Amino acid sequence: MAQKVQGTEDLYGGYMRAWQRMQDVARELFGAYGFDMIETPAIEQVDTFVHGIGESTDVVRKEMFRVVSGALFSDLLALGDESRLKPRQRMAMRPEGTAGVVRAVVENNLVPQGAAPAKLWYAEAMFRGERPQKGRLRQFHQVGVEWLGASDPAADAECIIMLMEYFERLGFARESLRLVINSMGDAACRPAYREKVRAFIMDHADEMCEDCLERAQVNPLRAFDCKNDHCREVMAAAPLAPDNLCEECAAHYASVKRYLDAAGVAYVEDPTLVRGLDYYTRTVFEVEAVGAGVGAIGGGGRYDGLVELEGGKPTPGLGFAVGFERIALALAEQGVELGGEAPACVYVACTPGEVERAAAFDACRALRAAGVRTEADYQGRSLKGQFKQADKFGALLCVILGGNEVAAGVATLRDMVSHEQVEVPFGRLADEVLARLG
Ligand code: AMP
């Protein structure tokens, strides 16, 4: 039997409805904040991610699924490495949404000089070659927003407020969420801070793991994220970002916190929160569903240098992404079924016979034209079998068409809950059904 790729999932039934619900809630809420939907290609040039996410990140170095056409694949094997491929021939599946959206904003000039910011949201599959486990997939789904052209700290706060409101609308109890924030500084203060952390790691070189020693060379801040307990213990004494902010960054961070306080949004400051990607500046944040055991369910931050890295004019930006699969797991843990019930339907049943079948065919058309989800029998079932099937579908109403009804130009309408039955003239069937469905 053919099998799906490890770490991927099929979305159908209630799980698919849950993913659709996440998109519906996003469309409504993010729309109220002025965000429009965007979809960028699932494949981009590798350089888009290298520039944006950072050469030294795990995502770029180890987790990107690289894409080659069949024809190029043989060349690649013959060449032995990809160095002779042109940049446009080096492609990867997107591991996250921001780099591609920022590339699209630059390429389509969506924030021209002097224009209002671009506010975009997406709902897309992402691809990372990680070791699959609970809440960690190789193809997963994110809803995210990118806000390009806004430098005001109110934008950072509004982004976070919108994110927390989104989680609430999906069904999370506010107390079950832990919002963690930090400021990582900017181009003015971060380089000096990075050097301090690098020097700290080198001073403790004999106590740190190989990976952290490598991180010290490429991106020392990542050592705060080390999975090794001992490295984390050592890093607890390392210099902290909020203590090393320049005046502007400190003022920006203080302002974000004031806005969050004014909106009554609770947060915890974690001076070691650095997030995995290179592009963040100033505000970073992450949200965890307490006790769900699935890790972060969403996170984001400001990335004021990213548009330039993707070849655009200096443009501030910020955004976040949340993971569908982890949210579904965390909500299930709290007893919330994100997908809800299957949609209600009406079942059209008929006795055997060509005339009755034709009447059922017409009834289905009339009900569907009125927007009613309508089911019927397509497998030659007896009337009793059709009633059973109507129950399986969870039909609220059943339209019954026997020889007598058809001859009289009426249909019997049966309420599947109260079992009450009424006769309805054929021409009024759709109106009557709509009225009863409320
Ligand atoms: P990140 O950009 O890595 O912070 O990802 C944002 C969100 O996407 C996370 O908070 C998770 O909810 C989700 N996520 C990231 N990686 C995975 C993965 N491999 N499988 C499932 N969800 C993921």
142 is in an annotated binding site: yes
Assess whether the C-beta atom of 298 lies below 6 angstroms from ligand 1: yes
Ligand 1 neighbourhood includes 163 CB (under 6 angstroms): no
Give the distance (Å) from ligand 1 centre to CA of residue 95.
9
The pair of structure tokens assigned to 333 is 């843990």
What is the Å distance from ligand 1's center to 382 Cα?
50
What's the pLDDT tens digit per position in 299-345?
999 999 999 988 999 999 999 999 999 999 999 999 999 999 888 89
| The model's pTM | 0.93
Instruction: Note the pLDDT of residue 81.
Output: 79
Residues 169-185 pLDDT 10s: 999 999 999 999 999 99
Mean pLDDT over 190-201 rounds to: 94
Mean pLDDT of the 411-424 span = 96
State the pairing for strand pair 346-350/397-401. Answer: parallel
Outline where 108-170 has alpha helix (H): 153-170
For ligand 1, atom 13, the nearest C-alpha belongs to: 323
The percent of residues above 70 in pLDDT, for the chain, comes to 100
- Mutation choice for ligand 1 from 62, 131, 136, CB with most ligand atoms inside 8 A: 136
**Better-predicted residue by pLDDT, 144 or 295:** 144
279 is in an annotated binding site: yes
User: Ligand 1 atom 20: the closest Cα is on which residue?
Assistant: 136
* pLDDT value of residue 298: 97
Mutation to probe ligand 1, out of 126, 145, 329 (largest number of atoms < 8 A from CB): 126
Residues 117-128 have a mean pLDDT of: 97
pLDDT at 28: 98
Choice from 15, 63, 134, 140 to test ligand 1 binding pocket (greatest atom count within 8 A of CB) = 140
What does the buried/exposed string (b/e) look like for 218-236 if buried means 16 or more CB atoms within 10 Å of the residue's CB? ebbbbbbbbeeeebeebbe
Residue located nearest, by CA, to atom 21 of ligand 1: 136
Q: What is the pLDDT of residue 375?
A: 97
Query: What is the bridge-based pairing of β-strands 296-302 and 281-289?
Result: antiparallel
H or E element in which residue 39 lies: none
Ligand 1 center from residue 322 Cα (angstroms): 7
Instruction: Flag whether 275 is marked binding.
Output: yes
Element (H, E) at 370: none
CB 92 within 8 A of CB 62: no
Alpha helices for 85-152 (secondary structure H): 98-107
Residue 436: enclosing H or E segment and its boundaries? helix 429-437
Q: Which ligand 1 atom minimizes the distance to the CA of 300?
A: 4
Quick one: average pLDDT of 184-190?
93
pLDDT digits (tens, 9 = 90+) for 265-274: 999 999 999 8
